[in-house]
């Protein structure tokens, strides 16, 4: 049996992406849910750093981006039993199959299903259709105490939690976060919440360094003026970092990360670089003498989403404190400019339900 609100329009507004400097407010049909699916009215949709990677998007445009969403269920498809009209939910666009070789070995984020699932059309729209597989494995009821804005952080925080687990996080470990944009700040907060020992943030921007200090970093390093590796060792009794979480893709940041890793440490490549960037690596120093691990991380699993939501609900990771701008759908283009040329901005949230 289907359930639906009686005020769903036939047409809606979407923010159509052509390039970082060309995001247009356009109209589209409101999609209708099929069996096992949901229609969600978007209340909050975060702009992710991956949304502004033009080199990655150029061959796919025009399209509606946005995958960090929270909103209200306004229609259910035939056979949906876990959700009702009026439920407040967070939804993830990528979900694993749970049965393939990679899922069975605990590596859900390299599952082929996860890489092909998505929303219709995307989070920078007034409504999205949530496919049945996403309803089953990627839709989470928001507790009453969690706002829609906080709910939109479930997916990005899940990515962070998966990355730290994959990098062999352990209580009391020393952590260096290079890059204090939104992903770096989520790493700082998550590391602190999960019981890290020393947490240090590095960046070239003073505004972001101050945010990192406010959100849990015990110390910060100005990467434009200081030797990051030497500065960290001075703070860590002469040792390199147990975990270096690389949240910036510039080649100097990569070099700083490699230099700062301690013996038996792990460097997590969390941010992407441009395709042409090559890795400078002294093989013997890393893999023979110091046993450093270099690894990467992509997305998060359903279990990571559950943990992310619980950490947000409990107030352990105060995600709302990173939000500097909340914009209506018509100003999505401005939001993209704030992400690509940050000036006293960190997290940008688009609120498609707003009318002004």
Q: Are 75 and 85 in contact (CB under 8 A)?
A: yes
Mean pLDDT of 48-60: 90
Mean pLDDT of 41-68: 94
With 70 as the cut, is the pLDDT of residue 356 above it?
A: no
Lowest mean pLDDT among 77-81, 230-234, 249-253: 249-253
- Give the per-residue pLDDT at 5: 86
| Domain, as residue range, for 242 | 168-296
The reply to whether 161 falls in a domain is no
Place 8 in a pLDDT band, splitting at 50, 70 and 90.
very high
- Give the per-residue pLDDT at 281: 79
Mean pLDDT of 216-230: 97
**Span 248-262, pLDDT tens digits:** 999 999 999 999 999
- Alpha carbon distance 152, 314 (integer Å): 16
- Give the per-residue pLDDT at 286: 75
Mean pLDDT of 68-78: 98
CATH of the domain at 259: 3.40.50.720
With 90 as the cut, is the pLDDT of residue 109 above it?
A: yes
- Give the per-residue pLDDT at 355: 65
Q: Are 244 and 261 in contact (CB under 8 A)?
A: yes
- Give the per-residue pLDDT at 244: 98
The reply to whether 22 falls in a domain is yes
> Is 256 buried (19+), middle (13-18) or exposed (0-12) by CB count in 10 A?
buried
Mean pLDDT of 172-200: 98
Mean pLDDT of 145-150: 98
For residue 265, the SS3 value is: strand
The reply to whether 163 falls in a domain is no
With 70 as the cut, is the pLDDT of residue 204 above it?
A: yes
Mean pLDDT value across the chain = 95
Q: Is the dihedral of CA 284, 287, 289, 292 positive or negative?
A: positive
The reply to whether 162 falls in a domain is no
**Span 272-331, pLDDT tens digits:** 888 888 887 778 877 788 899 999 999 999 999 999 999 999 999 999 999 999 999 999
Total number of domains in the chain: 2
Q: Are 258 and 295 in contact (CB under 8 A)?
A: no
The reply to whether 119 falls in a domain is yes
With 90 as the cut, is the pLDDT of residue 151 above it?
A: yes
**Span 326-343, pLDDT tens digits:** 999 999 999 999 999 877
The reply to whether 28 falls in a domain is yes
Q: Say if residue 266 is in the same domain as residue 234.
A: yes
Mean pLDDT of 157-180: 97
- Give the per-residue pLDDT at 265: 96
Mean pLDDT of 154-159: 98
> Other C-beta atoms within 10 Å of 131: how many?
21
Share above pLDDT 90 across residues of the chain, in percent, rounded to a whole number: 89
Mean pLDDT of 73-98: 97
Q: Say if residue 29 is in the same domain as residue 150.
A: yes
Q: Say if residue 329 is in the same domain as residue 240.
A: no
Q: Say if residue 264 is in the same domain as residue 326.
A: no
Q: Say if residue 69 is in the same domain as residue 213.
A: no
Mean pLDDT of 204-214: 97
Closest CA to 152 of 64, 46, 233: 46
With 90 as the cut, is the pLDDT of residue 126 above it?
A: yes
The reply to whether 276 falls in a domain is yes
Q: Say if residue 19 is in the same domain as residue 139.
A: yes
* Count of alpha carbons within 13 angstroms of residue 289, beta-carbon side: 6
Q: Say if residue 8 is in the same domain as residue 127.
A: yes
* pTM score, whole prediction: 0.96
Q: Say if residue 32 is in the same domain as residue 148.
A: yes
**Span 27-51, pLDDT tens digits:** 999 999 999 999 999 999 999 999 9
Q: Say if residue 255 is in the same domain as residue 147.
A: no
């Amino acid at each position: 049996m289907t359930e639906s609100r009686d005020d769903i329009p036939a047409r809606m507004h979407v923010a159509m992406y052509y390039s970082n400097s060309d995001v247009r407010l356009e109209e589209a049909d409101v999609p209708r849910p099929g069996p096992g699916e949901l229609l969600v009215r978007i209340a909050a949709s975060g702009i992710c750093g991956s949304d502004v990677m033009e080199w990655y998007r150029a061959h796919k445009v025009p399209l509606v981006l946005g995958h960090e969403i929270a909103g209200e269920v306004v229609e259910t498809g035939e056979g949906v039993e876990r959700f009702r009209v009026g439920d407040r939910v967070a939804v993830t666009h990528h979900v694993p199959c749970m049965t393939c070789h990679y899922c069975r070995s605990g590596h859900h984020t390299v599952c082929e299903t996860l890489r092909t699932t998505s929303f219709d059309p995307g989070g920078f729209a007034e409504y999205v259709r949530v496919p049945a597989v996403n309803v089953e494995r990627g839709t989470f009821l928001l507790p009453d105490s969690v706002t829609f804005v906080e709910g939109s952080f479930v997916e990005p925080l899940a990515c962070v939690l998966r990355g730290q687990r994959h990098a062999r996080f352990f209580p009391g470990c020393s952590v260096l976060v290079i890059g204090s944009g939104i992903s770096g700040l989520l790493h700082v907060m998550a590391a602190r919440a999960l019981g890290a020992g020393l947490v240090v943030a590095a960046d070239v921007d003073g505004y972001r360094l101050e945010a990192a200090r406010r959100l849990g970093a015990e110390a910060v390093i100005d990467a434009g003026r200081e030797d990051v590796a030497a500065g960290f060792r001075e703070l860590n009794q002469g040792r390199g970092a147990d975990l270096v979480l690389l949240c910036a893709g510039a080649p100097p940041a990569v070099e700083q990360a490699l230099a700062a890793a301690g013996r038996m440490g792990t460097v997590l490549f969390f941010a992407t670089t441009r395709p042409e960037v090559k890795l400078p690596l002294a093989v013997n120093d890393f893999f023979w003498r110091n046993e450093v691990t270099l690894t990467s991380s992509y997305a998060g699993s359903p279990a990571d989403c559950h943990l992310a939501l619980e950490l947000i609900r409990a107030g352990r990771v105060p995600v709302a404190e990173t939000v500097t701008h909340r914009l209506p759908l018509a100003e999505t283009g401005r939001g993209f400019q704030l992400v690509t040329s940050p000036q006293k901005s960190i997290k940008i949230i688009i609120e498609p339900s707003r009318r002004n």
